[in-house]
Amino acid sequence: MRKLFIIYSSILSFAQIVLGQSQPYYPPPAYLREVFTTPVIPKKYPGVQGTPFLTDDWLLARVKLNRYKIVDSISIKLNLYERRLHIQNEQGEEMQSAVSFEEIDVIDTSARWHNSIFLPGICGDNEAFFQLLVDGQKMKLVKKLIVDKWESKAVGTEVQRRFEIDERLYLVFNGELHKTNKSCSAMDMFKDYPEIQKFISSNNLKCNKEEDLKKLVNYFNSL
């Protein structure tokens, strides 16, 4: 069953250099239970409205542990409040990851998040998951996803607690995160690129709009 194993990938040249072999070396598979070992406490957030997850639905995903190890076709949830990866094991139990990982690719064709890529931190910011919106050699566009727990109380009522998601757009440039704002032209990274300034002006782009940023980043990467 694909669900039970970590699938290891190897590159022929890597095997030849490191192991001195003419054939690629494939390490033995590891069981899913060896990677995800922490049970999830049920009803952990009583009395709190909303959800700490990206979605309460289980998503079929591929989890990249590192360059050579991939957990393929498992059901996952992203706990944005605690920054945890939850999985459903072969017994239907909800577990958390005991190891670090590099990337989550949603392969669930029935979900709105199909083909979405999530990163557990980027550029030294490890407090949240980031959704990769545009990849590129020169620049990337990412969305930082955080769930906060808020409390409010009106006179004569009980305290109301709720989860609310906070989404923030960032550009990744020269290995650093740059928070976006409405004025693209005011962002320092574009000041030395007159062709970018012209593209922004002629297309009336706003850097607080996701679709405008996608156009801008794709154009920047094409130069």
CA distance 69 to 49: 37
Beta bridge partners of 132: 117, 142
Each of the 223 residues of the chain gets a pLDDT tens digit; together they read: 444 445 554 443 344 444 455 555 555 445 566 667 777 877 778 889 999 999 999 999 999 888 778 888 889 999 999 999 998 877 888 888 766 889 999 999 999 999 999 999 999 999 899 999 999 999 999 999 999 999 887 777 788 899 999 999 999 999 999 999 899 888 888 888 999 999 999 999 999 999 999 999 999 999 9
Instruction: State the amino acid at position 188 in one-letter form.
Output: D
Contacts of residue 128, defined as CB under 8 A and 6 or more positions apart, other chains included, come to 80, 83, 121, 144, 145, 146
Closest CA to 39 of 90, 104, 127, 98: 98
The verdict on pTM exceeding 0.75 is yes
CB burial of residue 149 (10 Å; 0-12, 13-18, 19+): middle
CA distance 171 to 140: 6
